[in-house]
Amino acid sequence: MPPSTNPRRAAALHRRSISPPVRSLKAVALDSLLKTGAFSDFVIKGHGGREWKVHKAVICPQSSYFMRACSGSFTVRSSSPPIMGKAASTSLTVFQEAKMGCIDLSTDDVPALDALLTYMYNGVLTKPDLVADDKGSRHPARQQIVFHVLNVHILADKFDVATLTALTADEFMYAVMRFRLQPVFGPLLTKVLEETSP
């Protein structure tokens, strides 16, 4: 069958000739908002003076952690001991983050935090570029990408970004299958056991 009459090929050519999907256009627009900080209403401060000017309308629906931080009502347990057999009361407090319009996350891994926020804006998990070592091998760089994915997973779990948690868990499990017989597996497993929830 000639290529022009092959229905699958014709459909593929037609899809390529149409303008990019709306989702891609939205992702580009949202990515631009993250990069420029235009119209932002909340600031996330990271290690080394890194700042992200973000939008509550983007981050809060995807993360219950950021929803609570931005709305100012985290539920906090009183540190006082139980009185006469009754449990300590639970109180709501308005946190400084909501009042000041910023949150300090300087103890978190900056590349992982950047990847998490980028994902929240454009739905793409960013990874560092592979850089060959002096022998031309990209193997050590691939191991670093696995650690990066694990760091992103830890933050996605911490900040309750469910879709990213699932994505990074899948990517990590695929990587574990590749590296299970290599020396890097031990440190990966240790990090998983120490820094992720059960």
Express each pLDDT in 118-138 by its tens digit.
999 999 999 887 665 566 555
Cβ count within 10 A of residue 164:
23
What's residue 18's pLDDT?
45
Residue 69 has pLDDT above 80, yes or no: yes
Rounded distance between C-alpha atoms, residue 52 and residue 188, angstroms: 29
The dihedral built from the CA positions of residue 7, 9, 14 and 15, taken in this order, carries a sign that is: positive
What's residue 90's pLDDT?
42
Rounded distance between C-alpha atoms, residue 71 and residue 190, angstroms: 35
Rounded distance between C-alpha atoms, residue 109 and residue 170, angstroms: 20
pLDDT tens digits for 70-87?
Answer: 987 655 443 444 444 544
What's residue 188's pLDDT?
79
Instruction: Write the DSSP symbol of residue 89.
Output: P
pTM, two decimals, is 0.73
Rounded distance between C-alpha atoms, residue 68 and residue 103, angstroms: 12
- Gyration radius (Cα) of the chain, Å: 22
80 sits in which H/E element: none
Q: If you average pLDDT over every residue of the chain, what do you get?
A: 79
Residue given tokens 């469910």 in the structure block: 162
Domains of the chain, with CATH numbers?
21-108 (3.30.710), 127-198 (no CATH)
One-letter amino acid of 102 = C
Cβ count within 10 A of residue 147:
18
